Structure 1
Amino acid sequence: MNHPEEERISAYVDGELTESEKSIMEEHLQVCDRCQNLFQELTEIKNLVFYAYQNIEVPQAIEQQVMTKIELTKMENLFAINKIPWFQVVLPVLLVALLLTSQPLFLSFGIFSSIMKVIFSIIPVIVTIVPYLLGVIVMISLFAIFLSLWLLRRFIVSKVIQ
């Protein structure tokens, strides 16, 4: 005898079979004691679970609490600054502040003095170049936008003509 799989009997118990599958299963259950016993066990388990969870009272505000927690988690992930260790933010700021405020102190210590002189001579150059770099970046961005628009227009016109 060809027995259906346990998942198929479980699907029958849950009402998930089509009408033709359901009629085939019912015919098999009438003649097969083994599958009939399995069907009864699964039905009892389903009923026990149903009655056990039916007696549990869920607080009325549970949905709102869950949704609030989800939104808070989304906001925490969006602004995940608290996941960055403090020293990765504070330490560089303190070092830069120390270097900028104590320039005369460091200029008197040999090799370190030479390094600091180079760094402090480069800073004004970088500060004066940044606006020009920003201008170049803006110009390249505008060129890319206009080129994209022109290519998009050509593409649309070619599709309309075809």
Structure 2
Amino acid sequence: MGWIVFLYPLMELWSLIELGVQTTAGTAVLWILVAGLVGLGAIRFAGTQVLTRLQAAQREGALQQHLLAGDMALAFSGLLLMVPGLLSDALAVLIMIPPVRRLLAKLLGLQGVSTGAQFTHSSCPPPADVHARSEGDDGVTLEGEFQELDAAPPAIDRHGPDETGRS
């Protein structure tokens, strides 16, 4: 399995070289630049979608499980588009297709991606009241006065004791 780490970049490089041979080197460079820009746009779009949907879910008081899964897949496909090479671009385009994305979610065991399961605040315990009394509080209030002592640290004699033993 470790050989994939070595083989994958070589296959990506080979695909770009083959694109340059079949067309021109300028086409290969243009492909890399356009795919990178499209990938960046996909990542930005996915980020905007996530923020918009999370704000709407917060207003409604419900968090939908499938909110992030589809947008994370879109962001991942944008990241794949930014990787130079035709193999990663082909995989990114496949991930962008919604039926393929749902099939991948089902294969990976990500339930709720296409079902839209909802979780509301009522299923969660209410937040703890920070001003409420703790369990061990018996209602006793201690009152008293204080006096601020000299805040300066005590002087330290660096010469040590003399013959009589005093500092």
Normalization by structure 2: what TM-score?
A: 0.27
Q: Which has the higher contact order (CA 8 A, sep 6+)?
A: 2
For the pair shown, which has the larger CA radius of gyration, 1 or 2?
1
